[in-house]
Amino acid sequence: MVLETADDVTGPWRPVLDLNELSTDGTPLRMSPQPSPDGRLLAYSLDASGRELPELKVIEIDTGKVLLDGVPQQRPGLVAWLPDCTGFFYMANHTPPATAAAAPGAGAKPAPPSPLRWRLFFHRIGQPPPTEPEPLDIPHMYAIPKISRDGRWALLQVDHLRPRPHFLARLDEPQGEGEPSWQWREFITDTEHLYKGVLVGDSYLAVTTAGAPRGRLVRIPLDTPGDQATWSELIPGSDSVLTGVTQAGDRLVLGELADTPSGIVSRIRVLTLDGEDVGEVPLPGPGTVSSVAQGVVALGVMDQVIGCDDAITFGYTSYTQSPTVHHYALRTGTLTKLQGAGHTLPGLVTTRILATSADGTPVPCTLVHRADLDRSRPHPTLIHAYGGFNIAELASYLGPVAAFVEAGGVYAHAHVRGGGEFGLQWWEAGRLHAKQNSFDDLYAIAHQLIADGITTPDRLAVQGASNGGLLAAVAATQRPALWRVAVCQAPKLDLMRVARDPLGTAATLPEYGNPNDPADAPVLMSYSPYHHIEPGTPYPAILLDAGANDPRCPAWHARKFAARAQAATTSSHPVLLRVWEGAGHGGANWSTIVEQQTYWLAFVMRELGLVPVTG
């Protein structure tokens, strides 16, 4: 990866950082860059081998001069610059010295890992890095600092699943002798609804589910957030899911997910600061807009676009078009492609089916296959699903999966509950004690595909990663006869022991529940895949794929599941384990990512008897 900069959106581009040169020993590196508003400085966190233990650095972009070479805290990131570029807030894991575990003596058991304590820090450029956090008792493991464009206000957005601006500070107030530079106060503490927006003047303009299950856009005065009578509704709720609002100069940019007969598509609307419609951003086609140039929108933490003074930047993709990055000038209406080949897959069609889940809920699934495919007979079919963490997993370029489709297979993208495709209620209906709904939705789609004659159980595969890896493993253990193949990537499989890993605990407990809670433990035990492997069961072919350095879904989950499943199965189908050295929660570099995708796809195609098309 090479980070480049330019004075104009069309170039010419010049390199700033080359990760290949920074990695002197070949260790894969990942970078999260955050340039200062004036483009002079670059704050970036650098992680090695997917361990998610990054170092935070600041350099001058033009000279490469290092202004900050690390901070004393662990896992620093999520930088928010002051508009005058004199400093920035960042989040990091803070373990006070008094609570740090002492080194164990001879024969003593090592202390358990310390729980993560995410705290907010402020660094002033040119001064030593901070050692003490801002005086805030953050009530959640995840938070993001945000600064108003005029530099007058700062807020701390808390919770990655149902976000809210829990704390607010006035940055330009004069302070007395010995007083801190600013005073924090609680702002919106409502934990029932989602609030995600921007500070404009003395108001907070936000998408919220308060009063609209799929979101509405409101203006909230900073002085009276608790009095909804003082709120102003700018955009009412509708059938579309509002994903967030971004400020770009004197315009607001509103992200939407619209459910259409052919699938869920992105829409980007431009508004005045008073909420009046100015127009809609022209997109390359019916697909997905995301700030990460993939078909994923994490409704709790991600905006679909990145706002500049008078423009926005966004990524676009669809099932048949590879990711591209675009720049849209709000004043002129000019759309410029910045990056990406925009490769298209001709000859493919997308259709939608609806299945009825166990509780009567209709669940959609998008099918992608060759236009000339004979649907009067069954074909090898691959169901992909995620269904968790309020993440809308939408249309995304097939990439290597195109080989499966071009060989005559059917790709089925299941939008099961637990995801964010249809708003907060869709997510709530597939998490915690309602998690079984996600699995029942998947089974309903599988049975619908079979009933429609599209496939048969001996030609059906299920695949998922991370939360989707759990989904695939539950499917293999709860309904082993329904599948011929199950691919579980980066999965959590022993849900009764997830609390042993700090990062895994922080990420998992709010979504699945706590195995140490008497109310949650029976629910987790009811579907924990490791505990439902039954000896003497003819299991489908199973591939378990994990990263050796993954701190979120550690490889021990896949290892112990593989050992137990190999001993238990009575079928002739393989149960394979692949642990990728040097990889974390996903590939650490592009070569590893390509190898991982090739490996699992080859496994599926071999087991289903599909031969890749050559030539």
- Domain locations in the chain? 239-344, 348-608
**CB 245, CB 255: distance < 8 Å:** yes
**Residue in the block written with tokens 């709010």:** 510
Q: What is the DSSP string of 3-40?
A: EEE-SSTT---EEEEEHHHH-TT---EEEEEEE-TTSS
Q: What is the pLDDT of residue 324?
A: 95
Angle of CA points 594, 598, 602, to nearest 5°: 180
Q: What is the DSSP string of 566-602?
A: HHHB-SSS-EEEEEETT-BSB-SSHHHHHHHHHHHHH
> Any idea of the CA torsion for 55, 58, 59, 60, to the nearest 10 degrees?
160
CA 245 distance to own-chain centroid: 18
Residues paired with 235 in a beta bridge: 217
At 604, the amino acid letter reads V
> Which residue numbers in the chain have pLDDT < 70?
96-115, 174-180, 615
337 backbone dihedrals φ, ψ, rounded to 5°: -80, 125
Q: What is the pLDDT of residue 100?
A: 45
Using the 8-state DSSP alphabet, how is residue 481 labeled? G
Q: What is the pLDDT of residue 592?
A: 85
Q: Name the pTM for this structure.
A: 0.94
Q: What is the pLDDT of residue 114?
A: 60
Using the 8-state DSSP alphabet, how is residue 468 labeled? H
At 571, the amino acid letter reads S
Tokens of 440: 């029942």
349 backbone dihedrals φ, ψ, rounded to 5°: -130, 155
At 599, the amino acid letter reads Y
**CB 373, CB 348: distance < 8 Å:** no
Give the integer Cα–Cα distance in Å for 404 and 515: 39
| Nearest residue to 507 via CA among 492, 494, 519 | 492
Give the integer Cα–Cα distance in Å for 560 and 557: 6
| Mean pLDDT for the chain overall | 93
Q: What is the pLDDT of residue 117?
A: 81
Q: What is the pLDDT of residue 180?
A: 57
Tokens of 166: 């829990």
**CB 169, CB 185: distance < 8 Å:** yes
CATH number of 239-344: 2.120.10.60
pLDDT tens-digit map of 48-67: 888 899 999 999 999 999 99
Tokens of 146: 């945000």
Q: Is 109 exposed, middle or buried (0-12, 13-18, 19+ CB in 10 A)?
A: exposed
Q: Is 471 exposed, middle or buried (0-12, 13-18, 19+ CB in 10 A)?
A: buried
**128: Cβ contacts below 8 Å, ≥ 6 apart:** none
For residue 12, say if its preceding peptide bond is cis, omega within 30 degrees of 0: yes
Residues paired with 34 in a beta bridge: 43
Buried b (16+ CB within 10 A) or exposed e, 540-572: bbbbbbbbbbbbbbbbbbbebbbebbeebbeee
CATH number of 348-608: 3.40.50.1820
Tokens of 119: 């705290």
**CB 215, CB 235: distance < 8 Å:** no
pLDDT tens-digit map of 409-463: 999 999 999 999 999 999 999 999 999 999 999 999 999 999 999 999 999 999 9
Q: Is the fold of 239-344 the same as that of 348-608? A: no
Give the integer Cα–Cα distance in Å for 419 and 426: 7
